[in-house]
Amino acid sequence: MLTVLFDGIAYGMVLFILACGLAVTLGLMNLVNLAHGAFAMAGGYAAAIMVNRWGVPFLAALPLAFLFAALLGLVLERLLYAHVYARPHLDQVLFSIGLVFMAVALVDYTQGSQQQFIQLPAFLRLRFQIAGVSVGAYRLLIIAVCAAVALSLQLILSYTRFGSRLRAAVDDPRVARGLGINVSLIFAVTFAVGSGLAGLGGALGAEILGLDPTFPLKFMIYFLIVVTVGGTASIGGAFLASLVLGIADVAGKYYIPAFGAFAIYAVMIGVLIWRPQGLFGRVATR
């Protein structure tokens, strides 16, 4: 039971680090970016190439994967996404899903269709006995990194000047520009950070989830479930939702494997019937 709980927490932390960037872009920027998983895949493949082929240490590859995905997000935000901010959500969905299929085709052509994993260093393959529970060092690293990211994001968005400027830019861009806020720069930085976090999640969770060209399609629904259940404007909500959904998914597949992912969808439906805006949801306006 405790082992299942620990594995569920670790899996939930992976879901959070993958989905928290979408929580920022969807909840705060009101941008429906279904291509979010493509940035996670980009970070995962970047880390896999650096570690498996170039011999870069795994811990050094993680921030590099973040930077690669963030830079990719910044370029695409300036070239493409900036033109769809004011468009209806349906247009954003069609635009971003088109990017997903382009990313899938590109990765399949350049990296092949076989599933890949990142070679972990020996110290991350160690296991420890804590209170009678077998705990893996790799999963401990995931939990520590994701908890640090969650706390940092919450503090930045709630207590810094950048967070207040972002909220002002989202609530009323015209007034924000009149106050001297560079709305375009705020959105570009926010989108880049959200993409970078997705890339970090892809690199950090590649050994658990695996990497293949269909990664953005396989996990798109999981990202949306986390953000929807947590509330689209809440990092804390996404964090709690990731924990609940991760534990439910692992426990469901362990105790009733014939039902597959039934548990995670049952939790989602139950939460949304109880709270249609999510656990910590509020309606974001543009």
Span 168-215, pLDDT tens digits: 887 778 888 888 889 889 999 999 999 999 999 999 988 888 899 999
Confidence class for position 28, pLDDT limits 50, 70, 90? confident
Other beta carbons within 10 angstroms of residue 89's beta carbon come to: 12
Mean pLDDT of 74-103: 93
Amino acid identity of 205?
Answer: G
* Residue that wins the pLDDT comparison between 2 and 136: 136
Tell me if 101 sits within 8 A of 37, measured CB to CB.
no
> Over the chain, what is the mean pLDDT?
88
Q: How is the chain split into domains, by residue range? A: 2-274
| Six-digit token string for 43 | 């970070």
pLDDT score recorded for residue 97: 95
Please report, rounded to a whole number, the percentage of residues in the chain having pLDDT higher than 70. Answer: 96
Which of the four pLDDT bands, split at 50, 70 and 90, describes residue 281?
Answer: low
Q: Which of 148-157, 183-192, 260-269, 275-284 has the least mean pLDDT? A: 275-284
Query: Looking at residue 95, what is its pLDDT?
Result: 95
CA separation for the pair 4, 221 (Å, rounded):
23
Check whether 286 has a pLDDT greater than 50.
no
Q: Name 282's Cβ contacts closer than 8 Å, sequence gap at least 6.
A: 231, 233, 234
Would the pLDDT of 285 be above 50?
Answer: no
Q: How far apart are CA 174 and CA 183, in angstroms?
A: 9
Q: Per-residue confidence at 275, pLDDT binned at 50, 70, 90?
A: confident
Q: Side-chain half-sphere of 101: how many Cα atoms within 13 Å?
A: 5
Closest alpha carbon to 76 in 96, 53, 56:
96
End-to-end, the C-alpha distance of the chain in Å comes to: 45
Give one DSSP letter per residue of 109-166, joined into a string.
HHH-SS-B-----GGGG-EEEETTEEEEHHHHHHHHHHHHHHHHHHHHHHHSHHHHHH
What is the pLDDT confidence band of residue 100, given thresholds at 50, 70 and 90? very high
CATH topology of domain 2-274: ABC transporter involved in vitamin B12 uptake, BtuC (1.10.3470)
Q: What is the pLDDT of residue 233?
A: 63
Compute the average pLDDT of residues 18-26.
84
| Nearest partner of 265 among 210, 224, 234, judged by Cα | 224
